[in-house]
C-alpha cells in the first residue's frame, strides 16, 4: 500500500522535492489513518491523516473533477472531528511530506472553497532552488574569516555553543541541531558555524544528496539576535552553496522557508520554485451532510 501511495504522490505532485525514504517513512507511521479510493484495484485517491493533520490528499490526474477529492476531504474531517480535534491542518505536523498545499497547480483553490484559510497571515511559505552551474562566488571559502568572524565546519565539541546560539536565534530548530550524527566524520549533513571569540554567532545545516541524487540543500539558518544585520546568514548560505558546487552537485535546494528571509537566500542566487498555502480550518462539532 505504501508503495502505491508514494507512486500516486509522485505522479500527482511531480514538482515537489522530498527524500523518497523520508516520505515512505512518514507514510508508514503506524498511527496514520489512511482513506483510499480504488478503481479496478488501482489506487486513484488517498488521504493520509496523523492526529489533526492531513499529510497528503491527492487524486489521480485522470480521475480529478469527479468528486473524489471532496469525498476524501469530508471523510478526513469527519475522522479528525471524531477523534476530538476542532481544527484541521494540511501539510506540516509532527512530520511533513510538504509544508502546506502546493500552489503551483492551484490545489489551494479547492481547499479555499471548502473553508480553509492561509494560517500564516501575511507571511508566505516557499521552497527555493538554483542550478549550481549558474552559481558564482569566489571571494571566500569555508575556513576563512570574514570581518573577524570565522566560518568553519562544526564538531561535536561545538554542540553546547551551537545550542546556545540556536536557542536564541530559532528555538524550534534546536531539536535538529542536537542530533549528534550531524557532527560525525564524513556525515552527509554537516553543520556550518560562524564563530568569533569562541562564541557561535550563526549556524546552518547542509545536506548532501539527502533530497535526491546530485541535489544538495541548505537550511535551518540561525543567527543570534544581537549579531543580525552583519551579513552572517548570507555569508553562511553563500559559503555552503559554493561547497555544494565544489563537490560536484548540480542543484541546490532549500525547503519550508518564509517571506522574511526569502531575500536573504535570494542574495545567494536562490529563487522560489514552490509556494505553499498553509491551509487550516476550524471544525464544527458536526458536519451538515447535504
Could you tell me what percent of the chain has a pLDDT over 90? 81
Cell match 568572524: residue? 149
**Structural domains of the chain, ranges and CATH numbers in brackets:** 2-125+277-282 (3.40.630.30), 136-268 (3.40.630.30)
CA distance linking residue 163 with residue 28, whole number of Å: 31
pLDDT in tens, 69-85: 999 999 999 999 999 99
6 with 16: CB under 8 angstroms? no
pLDDT in tens, 269-287: 999 999 999 999 999 876 5
Mean pLDDT along residues 12-35: 92
Element (H, E) at 165: helix 159-169
Return mean pLDDT, the chain.
Answer: 93
- Residue 1, pLDDT > 90, answer no
Average the pLDDT over 42-60 and give the result.
Answer: 96
Q: Please report the pLDDT score of residue 290 as a whole number.
A: 46
Q: 34 pairs with which residues across the strands?
A: 48
pLDDT digits (tens, 9 = 90+) for 79-121: 999 999 999 999 988 889 999 999 988 889 999 999 999 999 9
Ranges assigned E (strand) in 65-185: 87-90, 101-102, 117-118, 125-131, 145-146, 149-153
pLDDT of residue 224: 96
The pLDDT of residue 259 is 87
Q: Can you tell me the distance from the alpha carbon of 167 to that of 224, in angstroms, rounded to the nearest whole number?
A: 9
Per the model's pLDDT, the better-predicted residue between 21 and 149 turns out to be 149
**Comparing C-alpha atoms, which of 94, 74, 93, 90 is closest to residue 82?**
74
**Strand positions, DSSP E, 60-158:** 87-90, 101-102, 117-118, 125-131, 145-146, 149-153
Secondary-structure breakdown of the chain: helix, strand, coil percentages, each rounded to the nearest 5: 35, 30, 35
- Note the pLDDT of residue 110: 94
CA-CA distance, 29 to 5, in Å (whole number)?
A: 13
Residues 115, 281 contacting (CB under 8 angstroms):
yes
Between 54 and 185, the higher pLDDT residue? 54
Q: Is the pLDDT of residue 18 over 90?
A: no
Amino acid at each position: 500500500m505504501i508503495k502505491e501511495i508514494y507512486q500516486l504522490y509522485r505522479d500527482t505532485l511531480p514538482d515537489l522535492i522530498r527524500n523518497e525514504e523520508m516520505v515512505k517513512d512518514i507514510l508508514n507511521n503506524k498511527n496514520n489513518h489512511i482513506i483510499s479510493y480504488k478503481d479496478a484495484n488501482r489506487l486513484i485517491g488517498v488521504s493520509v491523516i496523523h492526529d489533526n493533520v492531513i499529510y497528503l490528499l491527492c487524486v489521480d490526474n485522470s480521475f480529478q473533477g469527479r468528486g473524489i477529492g471532496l469525498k476524501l476531504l469530508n471523510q478526513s474531517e469527519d475522522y479528525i472531528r471524531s477523534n476530538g480535534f476542532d481544527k484541521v491542518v494540511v501539510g506540516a505536523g509532527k512530520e511533513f511530506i510538504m509544508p502546506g498545499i502546493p500552489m503551483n497547480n492551484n490545489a489551494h483553490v479547492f481547499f479555499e472553497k471548502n473553508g480553509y484559510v492561509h494560517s500564516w497571515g501575511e507571511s508566505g511559505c516557499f521552497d527555493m532552488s538554483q542550478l549550481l552551474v549558474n552559481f558564482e562566488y569566489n571571494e571566500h571559502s569555508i575556513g576563512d574569516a570574514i570581518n573577524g568572524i570565522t566560518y568553519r565546519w562544526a564538531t561535536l565539541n561545538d554542540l553546547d555553543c551551537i545550542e546556545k546560539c540556536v536557542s536564541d536565534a530559532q528555538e524550534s530548530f534546536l531539536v535538529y541541531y542536537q542530533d549528534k550524527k550531524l557532527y560525525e566524520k564524513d556525515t552527509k549533513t554537516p553543520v556550518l558555524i560562524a564563530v568569533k571569540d569562541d562564541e557561535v554567532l550563526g549556524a546552518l545545516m547542509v545536506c548532501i544528496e539527502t533530497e535526491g541524487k546530485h541535489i544538495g540543500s541548505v537550511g535551518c539558518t540561525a543567527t543570534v539576535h544581537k549579531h543580525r544585520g552583519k551579513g552572517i546568514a548570507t555569508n553562511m548560505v553563500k559559503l555552503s552553496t559554493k561547497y555544494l558546487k565544489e563537490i560536484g552537485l548540480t542543484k541546490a535546494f532549500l525547503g519550508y522557508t518564509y517571506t522574511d528571509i526569502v531575500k536573504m537566500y535570494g542574495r545567494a542566487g536562490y529563487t522560489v520554485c514552490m509556494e505553499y498555502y498553509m491551509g487550516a480550518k476550524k471544525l464544527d462539532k458536526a458536519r451538515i451532510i447535504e
